[in-house]
Chain A
Amino acid sequence: MADVKKIATRESYGNALVELGKENPDIVVLDADLAAATKTGVFKKEFPERHIDCGIAECNMVGIGAGLAAAGMIPFVSSFAMFAAGRAFEQVRNSVGYPHLNVKIGATHGGISVGEDGATHQCCEDIALMRTIPGMTVIVPSDDVEARAAVKAAAEMDGPVYMRFGRLAVPVINDTADYKFEIGKGTVLKEGTDVAIIANGLCVAEALEAAKKLEADGINAKVINMATVKPLDEELVLAAAKETGKVVTVEEHSVIGGLGSAVCDVLSEKLPTPVLKIGINDVFGHSGPAVELIKEFGLDGDSIAKKVKDFVK
């Protein structure tokens, strides 16, 4: 995929905020001393008075976001996933989730692709944490096109939204003429009848790679991009399970509580189907180049293809 354009979804986040800032004076962006990394710095450059650096105090930042939302503004609270969903979990739960305030959480540096910073900053638990909060919308965009669309859609809806973005530049896969993003709707990127691979985030591009490799082995895999983990597109999950009889989930997140669990929740209740969950297997990450870590943890196209092949055998 050397010739494919690559952009980190955190870049998309910053750029989308600038666009929103131009359209809506109530958009305000909060950061906790990470504006250069979360890419909200571009918004700061454009709208310095509406970029609020809260310093290194994420719990307070989330609370300020709640207060701004209660006063009618649309705050985008920005930090690394580890701190937005992890450190400030209870603030998100009690100050944002419980009163269902219109706070948007832009969490960058999700998953192991944080790379060299290592395990303390590689959050693989955020989706599990966020999806347990009643009324929280949880989105994990797969590329630049989708990330920008998700930010816009989040701003347009009323209620709390958690968006997870990545540090690593990932291929642009959704720049098609008919691409349309809708919260709560998955997208079939490739039809197939032998197995359904449901992925999100950077794993979508890897799943497409895997599907190509599987094709060579005579396995016809359906690939679904499930950007919204909550509310989950249950209809699409059930239809895919019915069609293929076997489901694989792929995510840059713990196999506990994330997309895989969300899919299993639906299938176990409504259409029991064998599921293979590919993700981080209940371990911490470690330092290293992101691309190598993705391979080590089995989230690259080759690894996914091998696991799917074993699973459908």
Chain B
Amino acid sequence: MTTAELKKTANEIRKDIIKATHAAKSGHPGGSLSAADMFTYLYFVEMNIDPKNPKDENRDRFVLSKGHVAPGYYSALAERGYFPKEDLLTLRHIDSYLQGHPDMKKIPGVDMSSGSLGQGISAAVGMALAAKLKNKDYRTYTLLGDGEIQEGQVWEAAMFAGARKLDNLVVIVDNNGLQIDGNIEDVCSPYPIGEKFAAFNFNVVEINGHDFDQIADALKQARECKGKPTAIIMKTIKGKGVSFMENQASWHGTAPNDEQCEQALKDLEKVGE
């Protein structure tokens, strides 16, 4: 895929995030939008997957540790063909399979149920460990929030992954700088993030998470690094692409109303031009 195609796809995913959370009247658009470019690259370029065979035992795995950005995840899965895009409008509805947080039992393409912060990374570590034990060459990716890494379990998992030299594991931190209660630095600063993962014996790559060349290069570095898991700390903008949502903590877990939805889609149409 060319960079232009990736940008276009990411923009489609962003539009779906807005439409889905608007239809749900709840959900988490801010962190979905910040991670949309990474979702796009993972599902359209990086990962060895087949939407027609979502349970293939040799597939690459993805665990959305920051499970609340399910709208971004589901939009990417739908865009990639795991399920119909129109189903995104049933997000969080009482009769929908698209649960508020990822559910591996109900949603095609979801490799692990997640949402309780700090837990997804451990499951991803388990999947990476299973590949080592079974001599399989699939890779495992997991996406965490920068607020999420305040959870102690994240560091238990990081310690284990580093100690076990799980070089088939890529931990991505969406560093959009905001969590529900405000700036991550004001709430309880997790900085410096890269140094922390380095101290746990990770190969650390710090990038701009909205630059596809940098995303591609970071994931290439991860594949080439032997004997260490890789942590990609990506600087992003919460609410990326929607003017009034950018860098606003208040858009962490609030859905756009009719008017806001319309405005957001207009913003994204412009980006697409």
Binding site for B on A (CB under 8 A): 28, 49-50, 52, 54-55, 57, 59-60, 62-73, 75, 90-91, 94-95, 98-100
Contact = CB atoms under 8 A, between A and B. Distances in A.
Interface string B116-144: 10111111111111110110000000000
A66 B126 contact: yes
B156 interface: yes
Given A60-B125, A64-B126, A94-B116, 20 more contacts: A28-B133, A49-B133, A55-B163, A57-B153, A60-B153, A63-B120, A63-B123, A64-B129, A66-B122, A67-B124, A67-B125, A67-B128, A68-B126, A70-B111, A71-B126, A71-B127, A71-B131, A98-B103, A99-B103, A100-B105
A228 to B, nearest CB: 24
Interface of B: 57, 61, 63, 103-105, 111-113, 115-116, 118-131, 133-134, 152-153, 156-157, 159-160, 163
A99 B116 contact: no
Question: Which DSSP category, helix, strand, loop or mixed, fits chain A's interface?
Answer: helix
B116 A67 contact: no
B113 A60 contact: no
B133 A63 contact: no
Contact of A64 (B111, B113, B131, B160): B160
A99 B173 CA distance: 24
A99 B159 CA distance: 25
A49 B105 CA distance: 30
Contact of A62 (B112, B122, B134): B122
B123 A67 contact: yes
A100 B57 CA distance: 18
A262 B77 CA distance: 42
A8 to B, nearest CB: 29
- Residue of B113, B118, B122, B133 with most chain A CB atoms under a 10 A cut-off: B122
A26 to B, nearest CB: 8
B265 to A, nearest CB: 34
Contacts of B129: 52, 64, 67-68
Given A71-B131, A91-B122, A63 B113 contact: no
A50 B112 CA distance: 23
Contact of B160 (A54, A70, A91, A99): A54
A211 B13 CA distance: 69
Contact of A65 (B63, B116, B118, B126): B126
Given A59-B153, A60-B156, A67 B122 contact: yes
A95 B103 CA distance: 11
Given A94-B113, A99-B112, A57 B159 contact: yes
A73 B134 contact: yes
Given A54-B160, A94-B116, A99-B113, A64 B125 contact: yes
A99 B119 contact: no
A226 B111 CA distance: 36
A66 B121 CA distance: 11
Contacts of B156: 54-55, 57, 59-60
Contacts of A70: 61, 104, 111-112, 123, 126-127
A91 B118 CA distance: 10
A91 B129 CA distance: 18
Contacts of A99: 103-105, 112-113
6 tightest A-B CB contacts, nearest first: A67-B126, A63-B122, A71-B130, A60-B156, A57-B156, A64-B126
Nearest to B57: A72
- Residue of B63, B128, B131, B153 with most chain A CB atoms under a 10 A cut-off: B153
13 contacts: A28-B133, A59-B122, A59-B152, A60-B157, A63-B126, A64-B129, A66-B126, A67-B129, A70-B104, A71-B126, A90-B116, A90-B119, A94-B116
- Residue of B113, B119, B126 with most chain A CB atoms under a 10 A cut-off: B126
